[in-house]
Amino acid sequence: MTTKAELMSRYDDWVTDRAVSLDEVRAFVADTDRIGTLYRDRYQVVTTSGTSGLRGVFVQDDRTYAVLSGITVARASGSWLGGRDYLSMLRRGNKVAAIWAVGGHFAGYSTAQRLIRERPIRRRSIRIFSVHSPLDELVRGVGAFGPTILNGYASAVSLLAREQRAGRLGIRPVLVITSAESLPPEERVRIRETFQAKVRDQYACSEFMGLAHGCEHDWLHVNADWAILEPVDEQFRPVPPASRRTRCCSPTWPTGCSRSSATTSATASRCGRTRARAAIRCRRSGCRVAPPR
């Protein structure tokens, strides 16, 4: 088990490409004009927010990018959207609005900027709105754009749903994607009813953005063939899924570790898809874990 602090303190030792150095990568991320470009013409660089007091910096090659694209298209979007959904999206312009932190090499923002740089025409279909924008400005921008997919931090999506109910927004998304924060069950239902749209959750971290994706039963299905999601105790020692007061640790690519406080339970979910992959359900009080059967 490796922590972010341990990784960053010996960055030049564990990085697998000896041409990569922490000083050089930090110089790269300090330049906001390079967001969405490739470091050394081959690596996408993403950073954590640094809210824990230590900012993680990660380089990802094209293989990682391809895996994440495949997971998004084949597993997430493929299970979220049906033929009628895609037809409705095409009729209305197939536009994605994302409510994220901007201005840095953050995973979502950096990836979106890379997509736009690769094909500038995508500016018509992808629009990033700063989560720090004043609410009235955010409502005007999202409303004028008219997205068919609304993607954002869960709290920001909840605010927009409130504005929609008050009659100040007026959008008709086919799909609403929430991330970064857990939602109480009643709020998820409220968002679903407000937008009359499918609501799905994404579980990701800067080290690997494809940890798990949500289903119609509000469980998160772990991409366990690419990432390890393991319940551990307060000292980060592995514990059985039925144990209480654990954290979730996700070592990825190949030694990063993303940690969050969680409560786990081995109770099987009502979602039959857990037979294929382990699933978790997150709440403000923590997570329940359903192992594959």
Distances (CA, A) of 125 to 41, 116, 174: 26, 9, 14
Structure tokens at 267: 């109770």
Report the range of poorest mean pLDDT among 40-49, 68-77, 199-208: 68-77
pLDDT at 285 over 60: no
Tokens of 51: 């809210």
In degrees and rounded to multiples of 5, residue 43 shows phi and psi of -120, 135
**pLDDT tens digits, one per residue of 118-132:** 999 998 999 999 999
Least confident range from 29-33, 115-119, 185-189, 249-253: namely: 249-253
Segment 280-290 shows an average pLDDT of 52
Give CA separation, 257 vs 4, 89, 158, 245, 260, in Å: 6, 36, 29, 18, 10
Q: So what's the pLDDT on residue 210?
A: 78
Lookup: tokens for 240: 């059985």
Query: According to the model, what pLDDT value does residue 98 have?
Result: 93
Which has more confidence, 249 or 155? 155
Give the CA count within 13 Å in the CB-facing half-sphere of 50: 8
Would you call 283 helix, strand, or coil by DSSP? Answer: strand
Question: What is the set of domains in the chain, with CATH numbers?
Answer: 1-210 (3.40.50.980), 219-293 (no CATH)
User: What's the pLDDT at 292?
Assistant: 45
Query: ∠140-144-148 over CA atoms, to 5°?
Result: 115
Average the pLDDT over 105-130 and give the result.
91
Q: Is the dihedral of CA 280, 283, 284, 288 positive or negative?
A: negative
Give the C-alpha separation, 165 to 249, whole Å: 37
130-185 residue pLDDT tens: 999 999 999 999 999 999 999 999 999 999 999 999 999 999 999 999 988 878 88
Q: pLDDT by residue (tens digit) across 207-232?
A: 777 788 888 887 888 888 887 777 77
Q: Detail the DSSP E strand segments found in 61-203.
A: 96-100, 126-130, 149-153, 175-179, 198-203
| 12-17 long-range contacts, CB within 8 A, separation 24+ | 14/255, 15/59, 17/43, 17/59
Mean pLDDT of the chain, nearest integer:
80
> Which pLDDT value is given to residue 233?
73
DSSP at 262: E
Instruction: At 24, list the tokens.
Output: 């050089």
